[in-house]
């Protein structure tokens, strides 16, 4: 059979990697797919021609719309990133009856509902495996591999930059700013690291994971997002002493009251595999009612790992070219008319355990006052550690681990604690998850 003709938007890190993988592994991929996959046209302004093998077989233009309007092309790969013009290009490709493969999580998280509806109407597929956790086939695992399950929760390390920073802070006792600067020098973090360290990138990915896990529309605006910029190396060290690691997790959880979607620093027990995922690696833990916990680990970013997912999606699309659209795997795992309107819970309605650190004057009765406030709020304490003040210092650090409590109650208790005269700094609060059921 003839090779499938593909158009590529973007020849940057991932675009270049995609051309390289398709060129190097052409034989292996064709032996699997039963058809060759040939990029015939690519759109890019700036690119490093030296770093890309096989570019001589590709017509390179600077007009992205020329690619999506090219009648020869059956599948468009969008690797430009960002919202615009990616959105317009993807919608135009769909309008032209072309299938789309994209690595653009921001686009899917923000405009996925519109894009999938358009694709549905045209009977084409929009594939986005590369958008979440890079080379790890996590979309496929949840959407197809765990299709028998009611998914109970998903918890993932889905931003490599943030995980690198937290890993270094723990392993070497370094400060956040110091490691961030190194990550930027190494190319792990962007010049503007906001998307990574403030959790926005993770929230895009979590929004997508929540939808395919629970069959709900994409609702990025309802995802709670808290970054790691205020994590102090003291807390990393104290957590370690207590047998926990601090990870920046994306957590989606189905409860009786609704769906939780939240990205925040989280203490997890050090014995969990997820706690031992270090450096820039990603991992996603998924709990299904039949299968129990399953974990998926690998490179969450980078040229060829991301290209691996892009090309796998292209192979899937090629295989489905002759399938009735109704029989294809639905974009959000559930049939489009079967999505549910389960409410998304606000953060005050979420129940978690907590790590608390308080800086208090080293005087009689403070502990009694604090524990009284917690008892009044029905917050039970699992562990308390008081750290000796440094010589000449009159301040001590008080570390507490609590049992599960509604965030609303915790907020009220913290407000009362901070009002105590002996409490000399804002209370540090980090959520804690056992991830054991």
- Does 172 bind a copy of itself (CB under 8 A)? Our answer is no
How many other C-beta atoms are found inside a 10 Å radius of the C-beta of residue 337? 7
How many other C-beta atoms are found inside a 10 Å radius of the C-beta of residue 329? 17
Of 7, 137, 160, 250, which one interacts with a copy of itself (CB under 8 A)? 137
- Does 284 bind a copy of itself (CB under 8 A)? Our answer is no
What is the spatial distance between Cα 161 and Cα 184, in angstroms, rounded to a whole number? 9
- Does 152 bind a copy of itself (CB under 8 A)? Our answer is no
- Does 334 bind a copy of itself (CB under 8 A)? Our answer is yes
Place of tokens 């999580």: 105
- Token pair of 68, please? 């999506």
Of 288, 398, 402, 413, which one interacts with a copy of itself (CB under 8 A)? 288
What is the spatial distance between Cα 60 and Cα 415, in angstroms, rounded to a whole number? 60
- Does 14 bind a copy of itself (CB under 8 A)? Our answer is no
- Does 150 bind a copy of itself (CB under 8 A)? Our answer is yes
- Does 29 bind a copy of itself (CB under 8 A)? Our answer is yes
- Does 210 bind a copy of itself (CB under 8 A)? Our answer is no
**Cα–Cα–Cα angle for 249, 384, 406, rounded to 5 degrees:** 50
Interacting span for a copy of itself (CB under 8 A) from 333-341, 342-350, 398-406, 423-431: 333-341
Q: What is the sign, positive or negative, of the torsion defined by CA atoms of 423, 429, 434, 437?
A: positive
- Token pair of 17, please? 């990697």
Closer residue to a copy of itself in complex, CB, 2/192: 2
Q: Is 82 annotated as a binding residue?
A: no
- Does 333 bind a copy of itself (CB under 8 A)? Our answer is yes
Q: Is 10 annotated as a binding residue?
A: yes
Q: Is 14 annotated as a binding residue?
A: yes
**Cα–Cα–Cα angle for 389, 393, 395, rounded to 5 degrees:** 60
Closer residue to a copy of itself in complex, CB, 134/227: 134
What is the spatial distance between Cα 320 and Cα 204, in angstroms, rounded to a whole number? 27
Q: Please list every residue from 301 through 330 that binds a copy of itself, using CB under 8 A.
A: 304-305, 307-312, 315-316, 318-324, 326-330
- Does 17 bind a copy of itself (CB under 8 A)? Our answer is yes
- Does 187 bind a copy of itself (CB under 8 A)? Our answer is no
- Does 121 bind a copy of itself (CB under 8 A)? Our answer is no
How many other C-beta atoms are found inside a 10 Å radius of the C-beta of residue 109? 27
Closer residue to a copy of itself in complex, CB, 319/408: 319
Of 291, 375, 421, 425, which one interacts with a copy of itself (CB under 8 A)? 291
- Phi then psi for residue 247, to 5 deg, are -125, 150
Nearest of 265, 75, 73 to residue 163 by alpha carbon:
265
Of 185, 191, 290, 368, which one interacts with a copy of itself (CB under 8 A)? 290
- Shortest separation between residue 286's beta carbon and a copy of itself, angstroms: 9
Query: Is 230 in a helix, a strand, or coil?
Result: coil
- Does 243 bind a copy of itself (CB under 8 A)? Our answer is no
What is the spatial distance between Cα 261 and Cα 153, in angstroms, rounded to a whole number? 10
DSSP of 341-378 = -PPBPPGGG-EEEEEEEEEEES-TTHHHHHHHHHHHTT
Nearest of 68, 429, 10 to residue 232 by alpha carbon:
429
Q: Is 424 annotated as a binding residue?
A: no
- Token pair of 233, please? 């190396």
**How many chain residues are in contact with a copy of itself, going by CB under 8 A?**
67
Active-site residue, 415 included: no
Interacting span for a copy of itself (CB under 8 A) from 18-26, 172-180, 383-391, 415-423: 18-26
Q: Is 11 annotated as a binding residue?
A: yes
- Phi then psi for residue 60, to 5 deg, are -100, 125
Nearest of 226, 289, 246, 257 to residue 437 by alpha carbon:
289
Contact 15, 79 (CB under 8 A): yes
Q: Which of 205, 247, 254, 287 is catalytic?
A: 205
- Return residues touching a copy of itself (CB under 8 A): 17, 21-22, 24-25, 28-29, 31-34, 129, 135-137, 140-141, 144-150, 215, 273, 276-277, 283, 288-299, 304-305, 307-312, 315-316, 318-324, 326-330, 333-335, 338
Q: Annotated catalytic sites, by residue?
A: 205
Mark the binding-site residues for L-homoserine, compressed into ranges: 190
């Amino acid at each position: 059979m003839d090779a499938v003709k593909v158009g590529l938007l973007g020849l940057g890190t991932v675009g270049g990697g995609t051309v390289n993988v398709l060129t190097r592994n052409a034989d292996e991929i064709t032996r699997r797919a039963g058809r060759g996959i040939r990029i015939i046209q690519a759109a890019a302004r700036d690119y490093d021609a030296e770093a890309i093998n096989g570019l001589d077989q590709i017509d390179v233009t600077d007009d992205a719309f020329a690619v999506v309007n090219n009648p020869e092309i059956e599948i468009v790969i969008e690797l430009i990133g960002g919202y615009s013009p990616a959105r317009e290009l993807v919608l135009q490709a769909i309008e032209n009856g072309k299938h789309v493969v994209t690595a653009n999580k921001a686009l899917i998280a923000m405009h996925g509902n519109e894009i999938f509806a358009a694709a549905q109407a045209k009977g084409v597929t929009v594939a986005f495996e590369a958008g979440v956790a890079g080379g790890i086939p996590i979309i496929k695992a949840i959407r197809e591999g765990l299709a028998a399950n009611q998914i109970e929760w998903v918890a993932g390390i889905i931003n490599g930059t943030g995980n690198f920073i937290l890993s270094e802070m723990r392993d070497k006792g370094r400060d956040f700013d110091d490691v961030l600067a190194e990550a930027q020098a190494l190319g792990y973090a962007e010049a503007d690291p906001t998307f990574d360290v403030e959790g926005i990138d993770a929230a895009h990915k979590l929004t997508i994971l929540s939808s395919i896990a629970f069959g709900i529309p994409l609702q990025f605006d309802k995802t709670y997002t808290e970054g790691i910029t205020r994590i102090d190396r003291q807390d990393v060290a104290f957590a370690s002493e207590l047998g926990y690691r601090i990870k920046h997790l994306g957590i989606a959880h189905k409860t009786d009251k609704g769906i939780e979607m939240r990205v925040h620093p989280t203490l997890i027990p050090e014995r969990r595999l997820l706690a031992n995922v270090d450096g820039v690696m990603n991992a996603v833990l998924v709990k299904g009612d039949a299968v129990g916990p399953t974990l998926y680990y690998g490179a969450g970013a980078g040229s060829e790992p991301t290209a691996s997912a892009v090309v796998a999606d292209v192979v899937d699309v090629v295989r489905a070219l002759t399938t009735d659209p109704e029989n294809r795997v639905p974009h959000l795992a559930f049939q489009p008319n079967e999505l549910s309107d389960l409410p998304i819970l606000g953060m005050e309605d979420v129940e978690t355990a907590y790590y608390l650190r308080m800086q208090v004057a080293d005087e009689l009765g403070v502990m009694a006052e604090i524990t009284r406030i917690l008892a009044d709020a029905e917050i039970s304490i699992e562990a308390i550690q008081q750290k000796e003040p440094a010589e000449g210092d009159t301040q001590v650090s008080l570390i507490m681990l609590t049992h599960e409590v509604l965030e609303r109650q915790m907020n009220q208790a913290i407000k009362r604690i901070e009002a105590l005269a002996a409490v000399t700094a804002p209370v540090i609060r980090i959520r804690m998850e056992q991830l054991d059921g």
